Structure 1
């Protein structure tokens, strides 16, 4: 595989890995840690209900989202770096 193509593939795979990690952490947040929040989010359909729901979200739930994005970014960057390093870009 040519090195330019390998670099493009590494970025795409890194993006996919980052997205999957973020989704898994947010699913854990909504289904395991704060299931009542997930149920309330399904009911909130108008902007006022969403605003009220966001005002009542526990700080821990928001921190878990931030941690998920951090872990996703690190995992995606690591995968991209490993594949790109194999192409000789280190």
Structure 2
């Protein structure tokens, strides 16, 4: 395996990880911002008020995008195995 191939594999892996993490974290970040603005406007400082909506949105995103995320990871793993087989044989 040449260093260029290894660097390409690592770069592709990091791009995939960033994409999957962004899909999970970004909706929770937006909901957290909206809830924080609501708390600042009403001066309600309750910890569960900020935690529960983010948790529910994250679970909703996992439910909706979970299949796509698993398929994407499986495609990447199959691609890695095919590349490894091509390098060996």
Shorter-chain-normalised TM-score: which range? 0.3 to 0.5
**TM-score normalized with structure 1 length:** 0.47
Structure of greater Rg: 2
Higher RCO, Cα 8 Å, sep 6+: 1
The structure where helix makes up a greater share of residues is: 2
